[in-house]
Structure formats: structure tokens, C-alpha cells
Amino acid sequence: MTTIIIGNSAAGLAAVKSFRKYNQTDELILISKEGGLAYSRVLLPYVLREKLPYEGLFIREKAFYEENKVTYIEKEVKMVDDVNKAVVLTDETKISFDKLILATGSFAVAPPIEGIKQEGIYHMWTKADVDALLPLFATKKKMAVLGSGFVALQGAWAAKTRGLDVTVIELMDRIMPSVLDVKGATILTEKIKETGVVLKTGTVTERFEKLEDGTFKIVLKDQEPVYADFIVVGTGVRCNIGMLEGSGIACDRAVLVNENMETNVAGIYAAGDVAAGPTTFGDVHKVHVLWPTAVEMGEIAGANAAGKKLEYRGSLNMNVTQMYDATVASMGLFNENDIDGSREMPVGEGYLKVCYKDEKVVGVCLVGDSESVSLFGKLRPIIRKGEVIDCEPEKLEQYVNRKAFQTAKR
């Protein structure tokens, strides 16, 4: 029996480990189009900020593949033939499988703005992107960032800490709608501005013009243009499902999977950014572009491909990062339309909002310091279990601390 895993990152690597836990004998092949050792995308901004040495990006030694009896192939898969159970590589090699795990992640996309596809305009999604950006961070003076999501703002922060002049251009009237509520976004906006990053929300970018000296003029609607030496586009991602075109594997922007991470085709699984699966809150098919979710899904897919029936308890969206001298974090549901109410917790410096619905804690939003992060972490298992609790700040804090104490004692 042969199992193929496509993808050498969070989901694919977790699938390897889990597969081998339950099955030591079957053949395991891992195919990846990105060259070199496996690395963590999460750590890319830390390398740009020089908080982490470049070598710190890499998360597996070569020995990992030997130890787990994995045949590693560094090639791109161009097609999955789900009827004849084979993958076709770009060099036309055909490899048959009995089980397949799709862990192909996502890729960065750019909006349709004139001049956006040219040299000097980058994404910040892969190691190759960061390889291109590192020399620019070291030698250039002005960077513009298109978009103000989690990754875009980390890029802007990295450039600012390296001494560049940075302008962030955002179409919407606020930053980070999928990571922070309105108040959290307002607090972070102030922090960003205090660092000297120019933040232009509610701004329409009309075109990117390359000037004679190779720098850029960014033409904005009803505003003065912005000038930059280079540009980073951080406006979102799409799932890597191109190789599934023409197959019978059900997709809706992402590969649809059940609680076993299995697709509609028996024996074919998907995990990580490429997969839309169940969530803590009962969604049947949702994509969470998150490292821990990819690992959890990979573990479930690997186990099931190995013959061990495991079910996923559902993904809980969670973002935590350090930027602009604050911890910025959120999880679960925190926007007004999704919750019954919320409480601001009196912890440390900053802002920590706990959200509830049907007497359960369902989400947290944080722009604060290390003291508030501690409470944030303790709330994660409580949200996942969906426990009904008193959401008054004092009682909630007592409850959370008692729970944490009980867990620590176990």
C-alpha cells in the first residue's frame, strides 16, 4: 500500500508523524514543490525583523524523512487523477497511490490594480519572497505595503524596526477586520502611528508606476501619490487546488473535508490551508489559514490514511503575535454580529475583551501586555469545550484560574 502526501509544511509534516504512529510498514511518499528543508512561514516576519537568524526558519532536519521512512520528492504535482489513483508531476512522471493526503496550503494573491505585476513588487508568503526582500530591507529606504491584515502589518513592522520609512495603504476604513474587533483595531492603529508608520485606511490605489530610477509612484484616488523603493502586497491568499481541476474531488475554493479530513473520494484526504473542515462553532466547511489548525488537521488526516479512525474536534481560529510593542491576539468569535455580549477584563495594560454567546465564552480579542496574554491562553480550552460559565469579569477570572490550577495539577 502506498500513501502520498503532497506538501512539506505544517499539515504534511504532521500527517507524516501521525501516519507513522499508526502504521510503520506501508510506503510513504512526500512530494513538495518548494525546494530545500521544511521551514515555518510563521517565522518569516521574525527573520525580516532580525529577531531570528535565517537558519531558525527550518523546522526539520533531513534525518526526519529517513527516521519516518519517507521517500521525499522535490517536484510539483500538476494533476491528481482520482479515478486511476495517481498523481502526475510537471515532468510527466506518474506515481500511483492507494491513499492521498493533500496538504498543499495556499498562495498569496494580488488585486487587479494596474502595474501590480512587475519587478519590485513582492508578496510575503514564502521563503523565496523573504529571500528577495532581505537585501531590500538592508539597502532601501522606503517601503509601501498594500493591505493591512495580519501578515501585511507584520511586514510593515519588520521594515520599520529595520529603519525604513513605511506607508501602509488599506482599501477598507479599518485594519485587520478578521483578527481584531473595532476597538482593538483602533488601539492598534494608534500604536502603529506612534511608531511612525504612515497608515492610510479608506484609500483606493489606482495604479503602480515604475519611475526611471526604478522606484515606484503609487497613484491613489483623491490623494497625493505615495513614493516607494519597493512594495509588498499583503491582500490575501487562495488555496492551492489547481492540480485538482478535472478531478472528482469536491472543492469550493478549498477542498471540502469531513471530520476525518476525508474528501468526497474515499481514501483521499486534505489538511491545512487547502482544506475547509469543521470548526469549534459547528461550521461544517471553513478554512482557517492557521499553523496550529494545519497541524491538527494533518494529524487527523495522517491517522485516518494509516487506518486509525480519528475525528477532528474542529478548528478554533487563533492569532497571536508581537508587533508595534504590543501583543496582538484574538480567537473565536469577537465581532458584534456573532456574539450576545462581551466584557472587558481588568488585566495589565491594554485591552482584553471576552465575548460570550448562549452563556459560553466564544471569543477573545486582545491588544495588550504579557499579563493579559496569560488569561488569553487559559481561555482557549474553555472556548473549545463550550463550557457554560458566568461571564462576569471577577467570576470568569476565578473560574479560569481554578481551571488552570486543576489542569496544572493533573
Ligand X SMILES: Cc1cc2nc3c(=O)[nH]c(=O)nc-3n(C[C@H](O)[C@H](O)[C@H](O)COP(=O)(O)OP(=O)(O)OC[C@H]3O[C@@H](n4cnc5c(N)ncnc54)[C@H](O)[C@@H]3O)c2cc1C
Q: With binding defined as CB under 6 A, does residue 33 bind ligand X?
A: yes
Q: With binding defined as CB under 6 A, does residue 273 bind ligand X?
A: yes
CB 166 within 8 A of CB 148: no
Closest listed residue to residue 286, CA positions, set 311, 240, 254, 264: 254
Q: Which residues contact 163 (CB under 8 A, 6 or more apart)?
A: none
Is 8 or 148 the residue whose CB approaches ligand X more closely?
8
Q: Which of 115, 177, 267, 292 binds ligand X (CB under 6 A)?
A: 292
Q: 314 in helix, strand or coil? A: coil
- Closest CB 287 distance from ligand X, rounded Å: 10
Q: With binding defined as CB under 6 A, does residue 277 bind ligand X?
A: no
# residues contacting ligand X (CB under 6 A): 36
Distance CA 169, CA 339 (A): 30
Q: With binding defined as CB under 6 A, does residue 294 bind ligand X?
A: yes
Distance CA 160, CA 375 (A): 30
Q: With binding defined as CB under 6 A, does residue 147 bind ligand X?
A: no
- Closest CB 260 distance from ligand X, rounded Å: 17
Q: 197 in helix, strand or coil? A: coil
Site residues for ligand X, 153-182, by CB under 6 A, read none
Q: With binding defined as CB under 6 A, does residue 272 bind ligand X?
A: yes
DSSP-assigned letter for residue 55: G
First to last CA, the chain: 40
Q: With binding defined as CB under 6 A, does residue 233 bind ligand X?
A: no
Binding mask 239-268 for ligand X (x = CB under 6 A): -x--x-------------------------
Q: Residues for the chain: how many in total?
A: 410
For the chain, how long is the longest CA-to-CA vector? 66
Q: With binding defined as CB under 6 A, does residue 373 bind ligand X?
A: no
Q: Which of 3, 4, 5, 9 binds ligand X (CB under 6 A)?
A: 9
Distance CA 31, CA 275 (A): 18
Q: With binding defined as CB under 6 A, does residue 328 bind ligand X?
A: no
- Where does this chain bind ligand X (CB under 6 A)? 6-12, 31-34, 41-42, 44-45, 76-77, 103-106, 124-125, 151, 240, 243, 272-274, 289-292, 294, 319, 321
